[in-house]
Amino acid sequence: MGELGNLNPILMETTLVLIKPGGVQRNLIGEITRRIEARDLRISGLKLIRAELATVEEHYAEHRERPFFASVCDYLTSGPIVALAVSGTNSVKAIRAMMGATNPLEATPGTVRGDLALTIDDNLVHSSSDPEAAARELALWFPEGTF
Ligand code: CMP
């Protein structure tokens, strides 16, 4: 084993990305999917939809008790969103890093939020936090499965 050991074992994964209403309104679908594909990750599911409130509430179920729950659910249903399934090596962690910190003011330049967003209320994208969340969220947004 090399000096760095096995810190990042190769895992083929699929994760979920949502481009929120602000991202669609600002014509950033292409910019965000371009970055994902440029990273050599594969888009294995893609749909432009108007989300049902019940779906968004289930999606954000872990935040149900948080003060921002109602407003983030309202926001996600306020206009069309894009749901993406993204597949590739360690895609969950790779996508999280590419999207940047939840609060765009803390997001590193070079990330989607660090380059394109300013406020936590409109941080442009959602991405699954870990493989368990990815499996749950993909089942919710892509019940028909992915490619
Ligand atoms: P997201 O990754 O989609 O997960 C929950 C969302 O709630 C988050 O991005 C933000 O857009 C929104 N949000 C609003 N206020 C907060 C907050 N104080 N902490 C975390 N998320 C927040």
pLDDT tens, residue by residue, 96-117: 999 999 999 999 999 999 999 9
pTM: 0.95
What letter represents residue 70's amino acid?
Answer: A
What lines the ligand 1 site, CB under 6 Å?
63, 68, 72, 102, 120-121, 123, 126
Q: Which superfamily does 11-129 belong to?
A: Nucleoside diphosphate kinase-like domain (3.30.70.141)
Count the neighbouring beta carbons within 10 Å of the beta carbon of residue 85: 23
Q: Which atom of ligand 1 is nearest to the CA of 122?
A: 11
Annotated catalytic residue 126: yes
**Bridging pattern class, strands 12-19 and 81-89:** antiparallel
Q: Which two tokens stand for residue 145?
A: 């499965």
* pLDDT tens per residue across span 1-23: 556 666 788 889 999 999 999 99
Decide if pLDDT at 141 tops 80. yes
Q: Which two tokens stand for residue 60?
A: 């954000």
**Can you tell me the distance from the alpha carbon of 112 to that of 39, in angstroms, rounded to the nearest whole number?**
13
Count the neighbouring beta carbons within 10 Å of the beta carbon of residue 147: 11
Residue boundaries of the structural domains of the chain: 11-129
